[in-house]
Amino acid sequence: MNARTLLLNAYVYAVLAFILVPILIILPMAFSETQYLTFPPQGFTLRWFEEFFNNRRWMDATWFSLRIAALTAVSTAIIGTMATYALVRGAGSLGTIFQALLIGPIVVPHIALAVALYLFFQQSGLSGTTIGYVLAHTIIALPFTVFTVSAALSSVDPALEDAAMSCGATRFTAFRLITLPIILPNVISGALFAFIISFDEPVIAFFLAGIRDKTLPRMMFDDIEQNLTPVIPAIAVLLTVLSISVLLGAAILRRIAARNAVTVDT
């Protein structure tokens, strides 16, 4: 191994460490017996998890976040699939504009979007409501769904729907019975992405939070300012586990989809 590759390896590991170390530090702190956040953790206890599950305020915020995330996942899956279908199967010259608008939220800083939504939602009374959150989260999660669905859709031969129509199916039936089942793993995978994006979304939650209904990330931020108990890392552990399992599920689904999509004309 020469000096060059050695340096490259060192660099890669440094980046990985930079990303992972904060997580590796915060996670053990959830099991510390001390009353406040300490590192290294002392002893081992599950009482902070207990405290989280027994606390009414934490549970309310969790259910609120879960509800928003679930609704965001559903709305993103429906809107995202429809939009992607239009994009991939013939949006014509409007396609590029449409695509730019759809994936725009990746480029636009969330803070800018949050401010805009804040002003708009204040006037329309959507601030702090479930609908308001779902709308906002759908906007930022949509690009990810569009990416995963379009990957699947572009590998499906458009002639399949023609074939179904020549067999007597209407265009919608052809989509429902032929194209949708083939791309479904990717649609669900996209929905799972949307779920995670919504569930731990902090920026918009910060601007849109009402007085009573707060999402879990917003609640954690409020809490950390007042009491630095290890409940916060305990929640972080739970969120991490949830995220990893959901994304793992999405990856498995996409692998299934890739296997199914082995092209028709082989």
Where along the sequence are the contacts to other proteins (CB under 8 A)?
157, 159-160, 162-170, 173, 177-178, 181-182, 260-262, 264-266
Shortest CB 76 distance to other proteins, Å: 24
- Our CB check for other proteins shows the closer of 108 and 264 to be 264
- Our CB check for other proteins shows the closer of 179 and 198 to be 179
CA 179 to chain centre: 24
Paired tokens of 122: 């204040």
Angstrom distance (rounded) from CA 174 to CA 168? 9
CA–CA distance from 114 to each of 110, 197, 205, 219, 242 (Å)? 6, 15, 8, 18, 25
- Our CB check for other proteins shows the closer of 78 and 165 to be 165
CA 87 to chain centre: 22
Using CA atoms of 179, 180, 186, 190 in order, give the dihedral in degrees to the nearest 10: 130
Paired tokens of 140: 């930022």
- Our CB check for other proteins shows the closer of 56 and 259 to be 259
